[in-house]
Amino acid sequence: MSNDLRQRKPAMRNGLRHRCPKCGDGRLFTSYLKVAPACEACGQSFAAQKADDGPAYFTILLMCHIAGFMLHFMIVYTALGPMATALSISVVVLVGSLLLLPRIKGLMIGWQWADRLHGF
């Protein structure tokens, strides 16, 4: 095991941008959520990543808080009916979840790489 220092913030920022946590150039994903076997730029293997249910958990956690605040503000400050309120919140939660999920997965893989978790 080498002793070179891995910075957590840049690695997580690169993951957030769907880039290799090590070099920041190669793509992290081959499709929406499928992690590439290795970085195309520096060769860093991503086989050790184990994001598992973490990205889904954090996405649900964030989106449920947003939905809860939206529900409160829409009931208190708008005159929308229940169906319009539910539809509005559902659209925001659906789009937000689809946008957040791969970003949170990349962020978690960057964190795992920086902290040498799971054999990185």
Q: What are 108's two structure tokens? A: 């978690």
Q: How far is the CB of 35 from Zn ion (least distance, A)?
A: 13
Outline where the chain has alpha helix (H). 8-16, 54-77, 82-114
For Zn ion, the closer CB: 18 or 85 = 18
For Zn ion, the closer CB: 100 or 114 = 114
Q: How far is the CB of 29 from Zn ion (least distance, A)?
A: 13
What is the rounded distance in angstroms from the CA atom of residue 54 to the CA atom of residue 65?
Answer: 17
**How far, in Å, are 23, 67, 93, 113 from residue 8 at the CA level?**
13, 30, 29, 8
Among 14, 44, 59, 112, the residue binding Zn ion under the rule CB under 5 A is 44
The contact pattern for Zn ion, residues 4-43, with x = CB under 5 A and - = no contact, is: ----------------x-xx--x------------x-xx-
Task: Provide the binding-site residues for Zn ion, judged by CB under 5 A.
Answer: 20, 22-23, 26, 39, 41-42, 44
